[in-house]
Amino acid sequence: MTNIFFLFNSIGNGGIERNARNISKGNFNSFVFTFKKQRSTALLNETINFSKLIKLLFENKNGIIYVQNFRLLLPAILFKFINRGKLIYHIPIGLRSGFIENIIYNFVFFFVDRIVVSTSKQKFNNKILNSLNKCIVQPYSMGSEFNLDIPYNKVLDINNNIKFLFIGRIASQKGLDIFIKIIDRLNLEGLKCEGHVYGLNSNEKEYVESNLFAIDKSSNLFYHGECTVDPALFDDYDSLLFTSRYEGYGILLAEALVSGIPILSSNCNFGPYDISNSGLYFNIIDDYEDVNKWVSLIKKKGNVRNNWDASDIYSLNNYMNKVINF
């Protein structure tokens, strides 16, 4: 049985952490170590301390070291030699460019066995990554709780009270302020709807306070705190509004797709266009700061997806074959 060691700087509930949660359900032993106190309890694996990590690295040879932070690559390389295994580096968003940085990358990447970038744009825009055969674009993976063969024919019923869903860290990146404006505008125009918000607070104190205050004073907005993302959560809502200004991974879109919920998504820097045939399965808002465009598409009832089999695209086996089994 293969052993895999996930190394995190800190654990939240973002795409890569949920990816680790899904992978951990595969046919191998998985161990999670974090250098800082974890920020979320949504990751299913119990974390181990440093002394136990070192012990397990010695005891479980020829495993896989999985790291998602460049600052952790040096200890990860050391752990690789201790374990005599392989090292996978998952790049969340991008790499800095520059002469000195390129020298460092060329040296460090020599010791990395597989580099995974979140989107094709990340790879093709970086000369070093684009030249490396060991660098691949992230395939999305779903856990066993997701049914990957769900054709659906669901549109918004604007004659009833619509429950819109927001999932993401309370930060400018995720665009909660855009979500709030959309819900306010829809109700002002007579379309009865609610906005339900899930996510941990970020360190953007002013942004967090102003948006949570706006939610608290509204009768149409509700804040529920942290959540574990699973199909049951999507079942309680009518539509996902993906209002991000930029993304490193975009797994929420894939999770929503295979759960059968109608989606409206921002055209964020990374995310929607790396999902197979995304334009066929959900609406993408080009100028997503323009609330009028969101409202207009919502009133058109959104897109419909029919007879779509995601098992070959988002299955755990697909992920294993492309990322783990090399």
pLDDT tens for each residue of 209-240: 999 999 999 999 999 998 888 889 999 999 99
pLDDT for the residue numbered 153: 63
- Match 């089994």 to its residue by tokens: 325
Predicted model pTM: 0.86
Task: For residues 146-158, give the mean pLDDT.
Answer: 75
pLDDT for the residue numbered 278: 72
Q: Is 98 within the bounds of a domain?
A: yes
Among 27-36, 127-136, 206-215, 227-236, name the most confident range. Answer: 206-215
Domain that holds residue 225: 162-299
Task: Give the number of domains in the chain.
Answer: 2
What is the CATH classification number for the domain harbouring 319? 3.40.50.2000
Q: Is 156 within the bounds of a domain?
A: no
pLDDT for the residue numbered 43: 60
Q: Is 153 within the bounds of a domain?
A: no
Which tokens hold the place of 47? 């974390």
**For residues 54 and 23, what is the distance between their CA atoms, to the nearest angstrom?**
22
Q: Is 310 within the bounds of a domain?
A: no
Q: Does one domain contain both 166 and 290?
A: yes
Which tokens hold the place of 264? 């409206």
**For residues 162 and 194, what is the distance between their CA atoms, to the nearest angstrom?**
6
Given a contact cutoff of 8 angstroms between Cβ atoms, the answer to whether 88 and 65 are in contact is yes
Instruction: Mean pLDDT check: name the lowest of 108-112, 210-214, 233-237, 271-275.
Output: 271-275
pLDDT digits (tens, 9 = 90+) for 281-316: 788 899 999 999 999 999 887 666 666 677 778 888
**For residues 164 and 170, what is the distance between their CA atoms, to the nearest angstrom?**
16
Q: Does one domain contain both 176 and 134?
A: no
- Phi and psi at residue 91, in whole multiples of 5°? -90, 115
Q: Is 58 within the bounds of a domain?
A: yes
Average pLDDT, the chain: 86
Q: Does one domain contain both 135 and 199?
A: no
pLDDT at 166 over 90: yes
pLDDT digits (tens, 9 = 90+) for 76-94: 999 999 999 999 998 877 6
Q: Which contiguous run of DSSP H or E holds residue 67? A: strand 64-67
Q: Does one domain contain both 257 and 230?
A: yes
pLDDT for the residue numbered 301: 72
